[in-house]
Structure 1
């Protein structure tokens, strides 16, 4: 039985060289996974991921997440193959339906079909299957194949999802499911139940699917300053994720006021409206002991991986340093269930 993984999630808004520096420090401190967000209008994740692959030797790497609407499945396969080659087999495939794509005129019809078929196309291409594929949304003509070598036919799959249908899909086909934007231990059990429905339909053990929770993280020895920064960060997406958590009831007038202030560019004012108990459900924040206690609650609830998201601290470097030296040593990472095997042999 392996230990629970601890990951670091990075926003792709940094200068060349910053990613390598942060990745090296994270690996030295004992992090297991480094993810790069695929958020709209930020740098494409493949750039920081390739830089981090060259700077590390052990950590798993992946985008969390790409989507099949703005990146065609053959392009996703190419980026995944490149990262897996560059990292010598440490890449994972992260996919989700995506958010805010309407801002760039991209529709998102039939997301479950799009995700399932995209996964099928990606793995067929990586496996060298030239037999063709006719899906409802994506296709491969017979004879279509990648024209370059790949390291593995099936790097592990992470699906980003909150809802019952997305979690059931993960139960059928994924190695991990990520609930992005949540630090709520109650969501672990909710997601486990939703994954189990899909796993049963596919004849799988639901314990084969690791549950990952990740959220905004701000840690500092000045816990009050860290929580103030976290409030501003959380305010920007609270209206998006709050309605997805069935265990939380938030007054509609509070959400409305937060959204109104964020839309007006007043993130700090919006953050000040968020009470402590609500903040703790959607962010890791405070001094190292507070952040460790929040992460431990997720581990105790059965999470397979806890991911500390951007901005990590009052500065990136200080946040990564405190997470590695002050938070990780406080965690008891013994899992409550058998962990998922995330390895795969190289393809021939």
Structure 2
């Protein structure tokens, strides 16, 4: 079982390194940067965090093969793996909201599968070429720079049966972004099994990662109020993806109407406690730890606490490390050897990986 932090790429240079050092000192295992539309390219914060840390795994959730060609994806994962001395993972998904920048997404499963083949052929030094229906490599095409590893682990971001089945065939992990719902773990396992068994894999080889907006504070009521506002911005997307969640259509319509009008707090106030807990981690450290424990008990490999982490990013990371992790790992609280200046708080939340 791993604990990860998911960060939005909306901070200033230097903030990422400070947060990464803090997270590593507290014992966080994985640092993820979201690959969301119109935010900073995730390679920038990831490279900064790679040079500031020694142990944590690092990756994007997720890049997509429509806004970035597979040879560029190979270059970014190779650069991160070099900078981190072999701690990178490759996160891929079909992408979300790309219509806003004029990008169509035809044949997403085929595009993802072929992109994976191209990336790993390049990383592995295969010069035989590749002729797919979406992507191709001419024979003799090869990277012209050093590669740390030919096979960094692959994470696919997916909710649906077909995407999960693809992950069951080819991925090391699958991430369900925007969910804190333990009932989704069994759903995803069943969907993974279809693909895994088709190629003779044990479904347990594929780790399930659930991640969502997280707001933790000693003032639990304030934390949950902020989380409601954050969740309102993506509830209409993820609610339809969760077959175990029964969310009234009229509620979703009203939340979306208010969000579109810029009334995010009003939209958040419509989200009740039970619904909030399906799509966010929020409240006191004890409440957040209890939510995460239900996912661990359900069989996730990693719980990922996403932006904004707390009422401020720095305070949220501190509380996750000092108060939430010890409850999950049944360890005594220890103070890290160095304090870290507080970075600029994030004003925008995003937790949907795909």
Shorter-chain TM-score tier: over 0.9
Which residue does 1:305 correspond to in 2? 302
2:261 alignment partner, one of 264, 270, 274: 264
- Counterpart of 1:58 in structure 2 is 55
1:109 to 98, 106, 111: 106
1:1-348 paired onto structure 2 within 5 Å: 4-332=1-329
Specify every segment of 5 or more residues in structure 1 that has no aligned partner in the other structure, as ranges: 334-348
Rounded to whole Å, the distance in 1 between the matches of 2:279 and 2:301 is 18
Give the Cα separation in 2 of the matches to 1:167 and 1:138: 22
Instruction: Tell me, yes or no, if the aligned pair for 1:296 and 1:332 is still in contact at 8 Å.
Output: no
Structure 1 residue 301: deviation in Å? 0.2
- Partners of 1:252 and 1:207 lie apart in 2 by 35
Question: Aligned-pair distance for 1:332?
Answer: 4.0
Q: Write the distance in 2 (CA, Å) between the matches of 1:203 and 1:44.
A: 37
Cα deviation, residue 9, structure 1: 0.2
Distance 1:202 1:219 in 2: 41
TM-score scaled to structure 2, two decimals? 0.93
Structure 2 segments unaligned to the other structure (5+ residues): 331-354
Q: Using the alignment, how far apart are the partners of 1:60 and 1:250 within structure 2?
A: 35
Q: 1:111 and 1:60 mapped to 2: Cα distance?
A: 27
Q: What is the root-mean-square deviation of aligned Cα atoms in Å?
A: 0.9
**Partners of 1:275 and 1:233 in 2: how far apart?**
13
Q: CA deviation at 1:76?
A: 0.2
Paired with 2:125 and 2:83, the residues of 1 have a C-alpha distance of 19
Residue 216 of structure 1, CA deviation: 0.1
Runs of 4+ in 1 over 2 A off after TM superposition: none
Aligned residue pairs total: 331
Deviation of 1:219 after TM superposition, in Å, equals 0.2
Distance 1:121 1:267 in 2: 41
